[in-house]
Structure 1
Amino acid sequence: MPFDGIFTNCIAKELDHILKGAVIERVYQPEKDEVTMQLRTQKDRVRLVISANSTYPRIHLTTQSKKNPETAPSFCMLLRKHLIGGRIMEVTCFDYERIVVLHIQTMDEMGDTVVKKLVAEIMGKWSNIILTNKDDVILDAIKHVDEEVNRVREIMPARPYRMPPQQNKTLIDDFDPGAFTEQQGKLSCEKTLLEYIKGFSPLLSREVCYRGNIDPKKPFSACTPLEKARLAEEAERIKNEIKKGQYAFCIAYTPDDPPSPLDFHCFLLTQMASLKEFPSANEMLDEFFTDKDKSNRLVQKKSHLVKILHNNMDRCEKKQALYEQQIRDTADRETWRLYGELLTANIHALKTGMKAARVLNYYAEEEQYVEIPLDENKSPAHNAQMYYKRYQKEKAKYEYSLKQMEETTSELEYLKSVEQMLEASTDDAVIDEIQWELIENGYIKETKAKKKSKTTTETKPYRFFSSDGLRIYVGKNNKQNDQLTLKTAQANDIWLHTQKIPGSHVIIKKDYGEIPSSTVYEAAVLAAWHSKAKHSGNVPVDYTKVKNVKKPKGAKPGMVIYTDYKTLYVNPDAKVIEKLKQNQEG
């Protein structure tokens, strides 16, 4: 990862320069693995973020703010107790470890001045935020690591804080070009640098190879003395730039349109094609991680909800299979009714002790005799009653299974529609609304924390203007679909939806006269684009007046029935969508 030991040492120096003497005014914990602190420096107030997120761990100053929970987590309360009012004495990084330590002078319970340490370990899935006392005893950590997880290094309250096991590598400060060129082994040039110099990441190792004009995958042992010397020279250059503090903060971007941040470092990444330079490490990190973190947490939140949806969809599919089997099992129910009626009609000709009765089936169009098995120990009337009871039992089972099958199919369609809305969502607020929809429909258990965090602010549907100037609305989730179709839209507005395919409700507002076919086409493209068939072709889209759309009693959000409709087949054309987006709101 880009946050290697070399970069960690750099950000620690920059933070030390800015935060030395700063007073901690406020502490928050907006995420389960993230802490933010408001600090007052001699110049102004700044916000420090420390994240132990396994994907994007980091420490840097930020201009971004997040919504904090109404009830602070216990770790946040502990930090407030020990650190608010404290003064940062220094920020350090030991021997290019991916660990930044804030040394904080504060007061203990007795009023004596003590120094406590807030340790930020930037180590991928092992990242952590740890508070220790003056004797390096752990007061608490944002993630607990007991002996079952790591026998060598427990991170638990009251345990001594120990640094991670030291690696047998050379510090960049002690780098000796001559000793480096004498390295033996079958490792590639990239991995030789990685294994030899402490704090180097694969990214920085490849950068050194690139600067030396050497293939990073080439075995080091296959390099000529001149090539080894070039590698050593470039590594020595990094060493000297660190000593002089000559950094070049940059973010490398993907070649996509639009580009997205790919990597960053405190040295110019000449191996990358698209770079953006920054005046400081903090500004660079803030820009890099703001979008990355938001996107990552969005993915995590969506993945959690998708898992819930898939579990319920699996449940529905199992129920469908069960009811299908029960319906098949009751396929002979009418035969039992027929047997009962025929036995009753011929009761005068039957006697107890008969094993079967051969009787005329007077329901058949042509003359047909039916042989009915009998219980010879029962009377003919009792046998007829047995067949009637069997018919009634299987009829009830059939009707129940049929009803349950319809309800399960409807529920499955609903869950698929929620999944489609979730896949299309790129906004945190919209995903929150989908989560609340699932809570309100009993798919997620509502906790006290969720009750308190529920926002009263609701998102609005997308609003587009057609090429004819008419307004077109597109729902972002099922609750919004209901609101849009059943409450906002007028009777003569046009409603559109993909035929038998999960997707958004689309409304064309009829402001005057007849709606042009070009507007109907554009709205149909929007309906196809905002559906499960987004990547398909020739998508059927039904459309009708809003007055023809009804919601059945007890139906799930977004579920409606409609009549008097027409069908238009369209392709989800990206060019049409881009044109409509030029006049999009919401």
Structure 2
Amino acid sequence: MDSLYIEKVAENLNANFRKKKITGYDFTNNKFQISIEGTILSFILSNPNGLLIDRGKIENKTLLKRYRNLFIKEVKNLNLDRILMFNLVKITVSGKIENYHLIVELTGKTSNVFFVDENGKILFRAREAQTSAREIKTGKIYQLPPLDKKPFKEVKFGKITPEGVEKSLYKYVAGISPLNCKEIAFYMKQGMTLKEAYEKFIKKHKNSQKSFVYFKNGNPKILTTFKYDSLAELKFKSFEGELSFINAWDFFSRENQKTENLEKIKRELLKAVKKKINSIKNRLKQIENPEKLLEEAQKLQKQGELLKYNLHLIAAGKEIVEVTDFETGATVAIKVDPSKTPKDNLKTIFKKAKRLRNRAEHEKDEKEKLKRELLWLKVLKDKISENKDIETLVEIKETIFPEKKYKKKKEKTKPFREIVLPSGKTLLIGKNSMENEILSLKVANPWDLWFHTKEIPGSHVILRLEKNEIPDEEDIETAASAAVFYSKGKESGKVKVDFTRAKNLKKPPGTPTGFVIYKNEKTIFTTSEKFKKLLRNNLLRFQNT
């Protein structure tokens, strides 16, 4: 967006809003809004600048509230720069005419809005500005930003080449941007002189009634006031009509806001996911080796068995008892507590063995859960990086940050619903489309069973199995009922549920998140009642439901 584009916007504004009344002003979060008889113009003063046009009303929250109901006399572009000036007029009750000026400077980081009286005195400014080039405090006389360039006719040129024009013309000629220079240089490469190329460029600009938005990598990147020959390789979208230049800028601003929001959410999510990944890696390092714990438990168990048949060898005051291993014939030294009776020593050894077995089982389960969560997070990290759908990212954000909704109670969030059935088998159930995809294609083992309601949206359900294990019919029915329970067919009576081995799933390229195709499936007719009944009877042990 350059000063020539602002010039065309001024023409749009002047043609469509001249003689209309300003009914309100607002300035919030770098967005200055003007309400003109039901139309809201929002000037974005951050970098990059933007313009939005809407219908509706705004609240008067600025010191300009007293300057409502002024009529727009004229809108124009100032100083061959990115500046718009609304010339306003007020007719007092006594019939006196007062003139004011609303000046919108869209100059990148230094963008600002000023409201001045007919003598140029600044009555309001949207943002404080620190600059040594001019004094623009409230109560002072408004000064335009300094312009160290000249109109084209006043510039004297030395040796001229298209390459030099493309790189440097904008440094000397007022109202010309680097992009404009590229187009002028393109004409020169076709055999024109600089003057001919410049005049052709300006004529196209002046005569154009259409605006063009050019795209790079699918995102809008360039706004022009006519169709540029130098951008012929880029895709574009044209706008025409009474507000063609305003509507194009509105489209450009909204699309870029979407991109900015998308990237902001991505950065936030990736930071959070990386933090969780590092946390899980640290927790995995701290987990005791289940195999080692089990080995120690088996060793103690055997010592207990040997001591059981040799209690008579435990003499008072003895700390070590030597017994013969009846399997190997080797002598085994067993440490005992001389202050305890032989039976109490035996109980202590068996108790320690049991405790170690339980700890080994717990550590094994915890290690498996952490590894599964780590895999989920690594896949999720890749999905976030490549995702361009803001709705999916927001869905992921709500999964990762549920505590944002409940500030008082921060709950620990894990991937998927994990449900242990009465048989001891585990069901893993996706909570959203992203989890469904990761669960089915990355987390599930090839031999696990996958369930989903046929032609009805719902969660993907995985029944965990051992390799080569034949699933129990009761577990299949429960898993199918769970698929119905977590679907839109929950209250629809009997529903078809397809199930197949996870190895039979595939995701076609370009399909929406969570979409899979499958083969070798079987179908079961069931309702959600079986699963509901188990819930009511408290027969399920839930984790993170």
1:205 Cα shift? 0.7
* TM-score normalised according to structure 1 size: 0.59
Say which of 231, 234, 255 aligns to 2:194: 231
**3-state secondary structure, aligned to 1:50:** strand
Distance 1:437 1:526, change over 3 A: same
C-alpha displacement at 1:331, in angstroms?
4.0
Specify whether residues 269 and 315 from structure 1 end up closer, same or farther in structure 2 by C-alpha distance, changes over 3 A only: closer
Equivalent residue in structure 1 for 2:229, among 270, 274, 281: 270
1:24-103 correspondence runs (5 A): 24-27=22-25, 32-40=29-37, 46-55=39-48, 57-59=49-51, 62=53, 64=54, 77-78=61-62, 81-103=65-87
| Contact map agreement 1:351 1:379 (CA 8 A) in 2 | no
1:297 partner amino acid: Q
Q: Distance in 1 between matches of 2:244 and 2:150?
A: 30
TM-aligned CA deviation for residue 8 of structure 1: 1.7
- Aligned partners of 1:168 and 1:116: how far apart in 2? 27
* Structure 2: tracts of 5 or more residues without a match: 409-431, 434-452, 462-482
Is contact 1:250-1:264 (8 Å) kept? yes
Aligned to 1:494: 497
Structure 1 residue 349 corresponds to structure 2 residue 349: no
1:246 aligns with 2:249: no
* CA distance in structure 1 between the aligned counterparts of 2:182 and 2:154, rounded to whole angstroms: 18
**1:84-483 map, 5 Å:** 84-105=68-89, 118-124=102-108, 126=109, 128-132=111-115, 134=117, 135-136=121-122, 138-141=124-127, 152=132, 166-172=146-152, 174-176=153-155, 179-180=156-157, 182=158, 188-213=164-189, 230-238=193-201, 245-251=206-212, 253=214, 263-273=222-232, 279=240, 282-287=243-248, 289-290=250-251, 292-329=252-289, 331-338=291-298, 340-341=300-301, 342=303, 345=308, 348-350=312-314, 358-360=322-324, 366-367=328-329, 369-371=331-333, 398=360, 401-402=363-364, 404-405=366-367, 408=370, 426=389, 441-442=402-403, 472-474=455-457
Q: Is the 8 A contact 2:89 2:99 kept in 1?
A: yes
Q: For residue 5 of structure 1, report the CA deviation from its aligned partner.
A: 1.7
> Does the C-alpha gap of structure 1 residues 400 and 191 become closer, same or farther in structure 2, counting only changes over 3 Å?
same
Contact conserved, 1:38 with 1:47, CA < 8 A, in 2?
yes
Question: Which region of structure 1 is more displaced relative to structure 2, 265-274 or 341-350?
Answer: 341-350
> SS of the residue aligned with 1:91?
strand
- TM-score using structure 2 length: 0.62
Secondary structure of 2:261's counterpart equals: helix
Amino acid at match of 1:349: L
**Per the alignment, do residues 169 and 527 of structure 1 end up closer, same or farther by CA in structure 2, a change over 3 Å counting?**
closer
Match of 1:12 in 2: 10
1:466 alignment partner in structure 2:
none
Number of residue pairs matched by the alignment:
460
User: Alpha-carbon deviation of 1:120?
Assistant: 3.1
Structure 1 counterpart of 2:224, one-letter code? H
Partners of 2:290 and 2:364 within 8 A in 1? no
1:485·1:495 contact (CA, 8 Å) conserved in 2? no
Give the superposed CA RMSD.
5.6
Paired residues of 1:496 and 1:524 also in contact (CA < 8 A): no
Q: How far apart are residue 247 of structure 1 and its match?
A: 3.6
Q: Which residue of 1 aligns with 2:21?
A: 23
Tell me the distance in 2 between the aligned counterparts of 1:497 and 1:299.
39
Q: Which amino acid aligns with 1:232?
A: K
Q: Classify the secondary structure of the residue corresponding to 1:487.
A: coil
Partner amino acid, structure 2, of 1:18: N
Q: Check whether the contact 2:71–2:88 (CA below 8 A) recurs between aligned residues.
A: yes
Report SS of the residue matched to 2:78. Answer: coil
Q: CA deviation at 1:84?
A: 3.4
Contact 1:11 1:281 (C-alpha < 8 Å) held by counterparts? no
Is the CA contact 1:420–1:531 (under 8 Å) kept in the aligned structure 2? no
SS of alignment partner, residue 271 of structure 1: helix
Percent identity for Structure 1 against Structure 2: 13
Cα gap change, 1:10/1:175 in structure 2, threshold over 3 Å: closer, same or farther?
farther
Aligned to 1:484: 487
Tell me the amino acid that sits aligned with residue 247 of structure 2.
D
Task: Describe the shift of the 1:383–1:81 C-alpha distance in structure 2 as closer, same or farther (beyond 3 A).
Answer: farther
Contact 1:306 1:419 in 2 (8 A): no
Gaps of 5+ in 1: 215-226, 448-459, 462-469, 501-520, 558-586
Q: 2:64, 2:484 → 1: CA distance?
A: 44
- Superposed CA deviations along residues 173-209 of structure 1, whole A, max 9, x for unmatched, are x444xx12x2689973201212121221222111111
The residue type equivalent to 1:94 in the other structure is L
CA contact (8 A) 2:210 2:239 kept: yes
Distance 1:409 1:65 in 2: 52
2:173, 2:246 → 1: CA distance? 24
After TM superposition, give the deviation of residue 4 of structure 1 in Å: 0.8
